[in-house]
Amino acid sequence: MPAIFPRWINSVPIALALGFPAFVATVIGSVWYWASPKFTDAGYQPEQPVPFSHRLHAGEMGLDCRYCHNTVDRAAVAAIPPTKTCMNCHTLVKPDSEKLAPVRESAQTGESIKWSRVHMLPDYAYFDHGPHVAAGVGCNECHGRIDQMDVVEQKKPLSMHWCLECHRDFEPRLRPLDQVTNLGWSGHYDPRSDPNRERPVDELKPPLHCSGCHR
């Protein structure tokens, strides 16, 4: 009796047994990388209404981060500076610059400048700057070397996995409290032997459970 199916059909189950797991692994790996914040979010660099250079202000001029973001050490959100903060200097410094026209207009009308937010977390994730700064986590641990950027971009993925890596091993990321906003600081620091710490290291308990960030 002649065969109903060609002989090569016999190799199909073997090909499926070997190929399907490889296909699934490829799909999972592709989604894990190309749909992850490391790929989709890191590198985000929106255009701003005013070409503000952190390289100039925070780097060359040495302005402390807290001069503009004055709630970063005591509130959940690092405040965007009001126009008045800009005009503290620019009333006298380059008062006629065309690039600063939106700043002068904002000062005259009282309407805030519509800055584009660079570092964004999902609405279901809670983050408080205050405890991190108080613990001695440097700004550049999350934001990178802002003082070297003419246009700010997101350097870190800010993903759940990335946050948990820090929470599980946070001591190497701590620094003296007076160096938190010094983005170029690279000294050796032992937080357990620092008498100036407000809270001993053993009292710091970064949450590892879901409700710590998802409230």
> How high is the pLDDT of residue 1?
58
> How high is the pLDDT of residue 147?
97
The domain spans of the chain are: 1-80+118-215, 85-114
Give me the DSSP letters along 132-155. HHHHTB-THHHH--GGG-SS----
Measured distance CA(18)–CA(2) in Å, rounded: 30
**Residues ≥6 apart with Cβ < 8 Å to 59:** 147, 148
Measured distance CA(111)–CA(68) in Å, rounded: 18
Is the separation of the CB atoms in 54 and 147 below 8 Å?
A: yes
Provide the mean pLDDT of the chain.
91
Q: Which of 73, 153, 68, 164 is nearest to 125 (CA)?
A: 164
Strand partners, 137: 174
pLDDT at 2 over 90: no
> How high is the pLDDT of residue 209?
94
Whole-model pTM: value is: 0.80
pLDDT in tens, 47-95: 999 999 999 999 999 999 999 999 999 999 999 999 999 999 999 999 9
pLDDT in tens, 7-54: 777 787 887 888 888 878 877 877 767 666 776 788 999 999 999 999
Higher confidence at residue 188 or residue 12?
Answer: 188
